[in-house]
């Protein structure tokens, strides 16, 4: 059973005069560890007179380094991809016996490799108080992460914040609200202070309208939807990197398409680079379109499809 969707993402900067652009780094290609199958991908840059070099950063994320040699009044980035939205069970992993119960310790060799994702700063009073409220009694690791993720989702009110940058964990707890990137960075800090290697992840979130309304629980998306999103990934021995979305309180599934996973949010920005001082207008549009749907229990063959199947069956019988 599969649903294939086409995602289209366009970002356009328009300047009030011709400007020199520094090298622009675009992080909008699905990362190598993306579990959702990406069937096709394209990146188009405006102006057409440019140089592009594909690179990989130390975490293996794909970077497109764009150089525009001439002055320009515009800079545009257009992403098109096709994804196979076959359902992914986010709990389909095994834990190493040493990590089945939290708190656990990484082996010495692994501690060295995940050191950037365990780096912490002294917590502020609100973060310290929050950490003290976490029971220190041993607990099954998956259950521990589920409860932690859901607690943050309940305590931090989601809001759309247009200001650049990421709030500090102290600020997010103090406000009791934040954008997806603020909640993701807060969860990174909390996990690291609790001894779990964590990284900041940015990417696309695709939410499809369910075929049927659930009998209980949240109704889900009212219409097919996509947007840029941020979440957290924790490194669990035996399982590898596991995605947690503190905005929804759920583990990452097929709708989470990572484009950059890094120790810090600054190196996961979708687009970064310098530009001469100028007045700028910014426009972004994102759409998701269903290209193909296999028949399924909740959305079976249509009457027209059944008629065609029966007609073909009768023709075969006659032959």
Q: Say what angle helices 125-132 and 180-193 make with each other, to 10 degrees.
A: 60
**pLDDT tier, 96 (very low <50, low <70, confident <90, very high otherwise):** very high
Per-residue DSSP letter, 257: E
The model's confidence at residue 298, banded by pLDDT at 50, 70 and 90, is: confident
**From CA 314, how far away is CA 316, in angstroms rounded?**
5
Name residue 66's beta-bridge partners: 24, 52
Arithmetic mean of pLDDT, 289-309: 86
Helix (H) or strand (E) holding 74: strand 72-84
- The pLDDT value recorded for residue 217 is 62
Residue 266 pLDDT level (bands cut at 50, 70, 90): very high
Nearest-angstrom CA–CA distance, 156 and 154: 6
pLDDT at 297: 77
Average pLDDT of 177-186? 95
Q: In whole angstroms, what is the distance from residue 103 CA to residue 115 CA?
A: 17
Residue 1 banded pLDDT, cuts 50, 70, 90: low
pLDDT tens readout for residues 64-91 = 999 999 999 999 999 999 999 999 999 9
At 2 the pLDDT is 84
pLDDT tens figures, 203-214: 999 999 887 777
What's the confidence (pLDDT) of residue 211?
77
Output helix, strand, coil percentages for the chain, rounded to the nearest 5.
25, 40, 40
How far is it, in rounded angstroms, from Cα 195 to Cα 165? 26
Using alpha carbons only, give the angle 195, 117, 158 rounded to the nearest 5 degrees.
85
The yes-or-no verdict on residue 46 having pLDDT over 90 is yes
Can you give the pLDDT at residue 306? Answer: 87
Residue 293: per-residue pLDDT:
87
| Nearest Cα residue to 199 out of 131, 267, 152 | 267
Give the pLDDT score at 171. Answer: 95
Residue 210 has what pLDDT? 81
Residue 257 pLDDT > 80, yes or no? yes
The model carries a pTM of: 0.90
- Backbone CA torsion sign across 162, 127, 173, 183: positive
- Does residue 149 register a pLDDT over 60? yes
Q: What percent of the chain has pLDDT over 90?
A: 87
Q: Which two tokens stand for residue 85?
A: 């939205």
- Per mean pLDDT, which range of 98-102, 147-151, 197-201, 221-225 is the poorest? 221-225
């Amino acid at each position: 059973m599969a649903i294939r969707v086409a995602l289209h993402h366009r970002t356009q900067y328009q300047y009030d005069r011709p400007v020199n652009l520094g090298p622009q780094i675009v992080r909008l290609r699905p990362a190598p560890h993306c579990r959702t199958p990406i069937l096709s991908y394209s990146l188009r840059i405006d102006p057409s007179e440019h140089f592009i070099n594909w690179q990989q950063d130390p975490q293996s994320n794909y970077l497109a380094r764009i150089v525009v040699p001439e002055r320009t009044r515009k800079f545009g980035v257009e992403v098109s991809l096709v994804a196979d939205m076959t359902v992914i069970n986010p709990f389909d992993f095994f834990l190493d016996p040493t990590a089945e119960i939290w708190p656990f310790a990484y082996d010495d060799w692994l501690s060295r490799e995940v050191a950037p994702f365990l780096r912490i700063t002294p917590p502020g009073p609100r973060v310290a108080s929050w950490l003290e409220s976490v029971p220190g009694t041993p607990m099954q690791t998956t259950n521990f992460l589920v409860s932690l993720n859901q607690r943050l989702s309940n305590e931090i009110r989601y809001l759309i914040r247009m200001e650049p940058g990421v709030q500090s964990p102290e600020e997010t707890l103090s406000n009791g609200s934040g954008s997806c990137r603020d909640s993701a960075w807060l969860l990174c800090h909390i996990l690291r202070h609790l001894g779990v290697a964590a990284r900041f992840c940015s990417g696309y979130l695709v939410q499809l309208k369910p075929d049927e309304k659930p009998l209980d629980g949240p109704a889900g998306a009212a219409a097919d939807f996509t947007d840029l999103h941020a979440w957290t990934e924790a490194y669990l021995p035996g399982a590898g990197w596991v995605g947690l979305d503190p905005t929804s309180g759920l583990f990452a599934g097929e709708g989470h398409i990572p484009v950059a996973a890094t120790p810090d949010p600054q190196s996961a920005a979708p687009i970064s680079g310098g530009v001469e001082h100028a007045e700028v207008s910014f426009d972004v549009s994102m759409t998701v379109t269903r290209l193909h749907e296999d028949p399924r229990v909740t959305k079976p063959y249509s009457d027209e499809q059944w008629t065609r199947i029966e007609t073909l069956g009768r023709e075969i019988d006659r032959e």
